[in-house]
Amino acid sequence: MTSLDYDGEGDGNKPEHAYDVDVEPQKTREKLQRLEREGMHVRKDADQRKVMEEVFDRATLLAVEELVSRKDLADLKGVINSGKEARVYLGVRPDGSPVAVKIYLTATSEFRRRLGYISGDIRFARVPSNSRAIIYLWTRKEFKNLQLAGDAGIRVPTPVAFYRNILVMEFVGDPPERAPTLAESEVDEDDYDWTFRMISILRAKANLVHADLSEYNIFKWRSERILFDMGSAVLLSHPQAKEFLRRDITNMVRFFKKRGIFKRDAESWLEALE
């Protein structure tokens, strides 16, 4: 991340060239490939090539172009994280402000696992059968979940836009460095209280269960904690909502216990929340 030439000021002082971005897939492809080489998380050989093909498939390049032409995005600056299922980039908007750009890999086999978090959610009456459509739906779902959580007063990265398998949201951190997660931070009782209050509000006000909650999906940044990675989150009416809630709570109780903070066990939290 340190080698990135981030130059967005975030102060509205838009550089002259900010709108003047590449508008052909080939240029976008070259751009992404360059960022990939510069990135710190580059994988090796065959594995690397496979991921490159997934990220840089033509439909994804065109989707980047579409976001650019809609002025939701001006440029991509570098790789923040390369996971199995998604790649996260530092991007800039036309006004120069930084954004996180999460690109879901369309060729991953992981999409089957996602089905269980889509079917059963009454927001998605018809569940698509092809993998690309599932991933587009997943992206939309994450965007909507961020909106719902934000509307309920939970601090999440503010969603900016989405298109196909690409989600644009507020960048949390000091670009090009992302914020540390709870896993990477010292934690205290306030973090504990925040976490369980957040779970409770998410449930009571947004009607949501995160369903992938852990110390890796909460940022601790300056005086704030910020919940993220909301693609899995389901409505309470989902048949497995309770099971997911139990797992979320168990993960957080276990994490804080490991760090020497314990107030009540997971079952007791579950009862308290009901």
User: Catalytic positions, please?
Assistant: 212, 229
- Name the minimum Å distance from CB 3 to ligand ATP: 17
**ω into residue 176 within 30 of 0, thus cis?**
yes
Structure tokens at 135: 């991933």
Determine contact, residues 67/169, Cβ cutoff 8 Å. no
Q: Which of residues 218-237 bind ligand ATP (CB under 6 A)?
A: 228-229
**ω into residue 128 within 30 of 0, thus cis?**
no
Note whether 171 binds ligand ATP by CB under 6 A. Answer: yes
Note whether 229 binds Mn ion by CB under 5 A. Answer: yes
**Residue 196 to residues 192, 212, 217, 235: CA-CA distances in angstroms?**
7, 15, 14, 18
Applying CB under 5 A, the site for Mn ion has a residue count of 2
Q: Which is nearer to ligand ATP, 150 or 173 (CB)?
A: 173
Dmax (CA) of the chain: 57
Q: Which is nearer to Mn ion, 229 or 248 (CB)?
A: 229
Determine contact, residues 53/103, Cβ cutoff 8 Å. no
Note whether 170 binds Mn ion by CB under 5 A. Answer: no
Select the binding partner of residue 173 from ligand ATP, Mn ion, none (C-beta < 5 to 8 A, by kind).
ligand ATP
Q: Which is nearer to ligand ATP, 97 or 217 (CB)?
A: 217
Give how far the C-alpha of residue 123 lies from the chain's centroid of Cα atoms, to the nearest Å. Answer: 20
Note whether 141 binds ligand ATP by CB under 6 A. Answer: no
| Choices 3-11, 94-102, 185-193, 213-221 (CB under 5 A): range interacting with Mn ion | 213-221
Note whether 248 binds Mn ion by CB under 5 A. Answer: no
| Choices 36-44, 56-64, 146-154, 217-225 (CB under 5 A): range interacting with Mn ion | 217-225
Structure tokens at 36: 């990939």
Angle at 241 between CA 218 and CA 104, to 5 degrees: 50
Select the binding partner of residue 88 from ligand ATP, Mn ion, none (C-beta < 5 to 8 A, by kind).
ligand ATP
Note whether 214 binds ligand ATP by CB under 6 A. Answer: no
How close are the terminal C-alpha atoms of the chain, in Å? 43
- Name the minimum Å distance from CB 243 to ligand ATP: 20
Q: Which is nearer to ligand ATP, 207 or 214 (CB)?
A: 214
Whole-angstrom Cα distance, residue 263 to residue 274? 18
Select the binding partner of residue 156 from Mn ion, ligand ATP, none (C-beta < 5 to 8 A, by kind).
none
Q: Which of residues 64-93 bind ligand ATP (CB under 6 A)?
A: 80-81, 83-86, 88
Select the binding partner of residue 83 from Mn ion, ligand ATP, none (C-beta < 5 to 8 A, by kind).
ligand ATP
Determine contact, residues 253/265, Cβ cutoff 8 Å. yes
Q: Is 12 exposed, middle or buried (0-12, 13-18, 19+ CB in 10 A)?
A: exposed
Q: 3-class DSSP state for residue 55? A: helix
Q: Which is nearer to ligand ATP, 25 or 102 (CB)?
A: 102
The identity of residue 232, as a single letter, is S
Which positions touch ligand ATP (CB under 6 A)?
A: 80-81, 83-86, 88, 100, 102, 157, 169-173, 178, 217, 228-229
